[in-house]
Amino acid sequence: MTEEIREEILKRLEDATGGPAKPRPYLPPLPDLFLSCEELVVQFSENVALQTGVVYHVKDAEEVRAKLSEIATRENLSTIMVSTDAVTASLKLAEWGKGAGIEVLTAKDFAKLEAYKDAVFNKVQAGVTGVDYAVAESGTICLIHDKDQPRLISIAPVLHIAVLPVRRLFAVYENVTDRVFADKSNLPSHFTLITGPSMTADIQGGQFKGMHGPGKMIVIIIG
């Protein structure tokens, strides 16, 4: 395309739209950006509940373990698969499991991939993971997958229990994406957003929970 033709096309576009594009009007910042920590927790919890998920708020690691014991009793859990990310590692769940009579497995316990896949799909009753970020405006948790946060733990078992440090809860998606993608030289290879239990629908619009993933999701906010 010659320069003359290009200029002619641009001129026609300007004439057709009434001239050069006008600057975007000023938009005030979202009120959500000014919510307190307590308000973010309330908004997040309400939005998770809308998706049939459950949220508990505890103050420390000891209370997380106590809440896990309650959940294990209620859900009849005997074997769980736990990620080894920074959040779950700090909870010392292997030690907790011995005292609670719960077998606690991790992906690193399996030398062969097929054995790990069989366990996470067919043996465990729940997957427990930490949460990298969460979004209050939609009740969404965000997981950055790597060797310590295998994806199957959050999608294969029928119950997903996610532990969320309150400092990782943000108002809107942009707060999270700005942090995840800030370092262009160290981008995650896999980043998952989860809003409530797995849901799908048939051709008539009937909704089903858990057909292609966990049918239940519990979030424990810590801090």
SS3 75: helix
Among 2-16, 135-149, 181-195, the range scoring the smallest mean pLDDT is: 2-16
CB-CB neighbours of 128 under 10 Å? 29
pLDDT-derived band of residue 67, with 50, 70 and 90 as boundaries? very high
Question: pLDDT > 90: what percent of the chain?
Answer: 72
Mean pLDDT of 20-49: 84
CA atoms within 13 A on the CB side of 80: 30
* 92 bridge partner residues: none
Q: What is the pLDDT of residues 73-126, one digit of tens each?
A: 999 999 999 999 999 999 999 999 999 999 999 999 999 999 999 999 999 999
Contact predicate 157/206, CB 8 Å? no
**Which among 180, 162, 167, 177 is positioned nearest to 217, based on CA atoms?**
162
pLDDT at 99: 94
Section 18-29 average pLDDT: 65
Per-residue pLDDT tens over the stretch 135-144: 999 999 999 9
Cβ partners under 8 Å of residue 200, min gap 6: 207, 208, 211, 212
Helix spans in 51-172 (H): 61-75, 86-89, 93-100, 113-118, 152-155
Domains for the chain: give ranges and CATH numbers: 34-222 (3.40.50.10420)
**Mode of pairing for the β-strands spanning 79-82 and 54-58:** unpaired
Biggest alpha carbon distance in the chain?
79
Q: Report the C-alpha gap between 42 and 80 in whole angstroms.
A: 28
Residues 185-220: tens digit of each pLDDT? 888 989 999 998 866 655 555 555 545 668 899 999
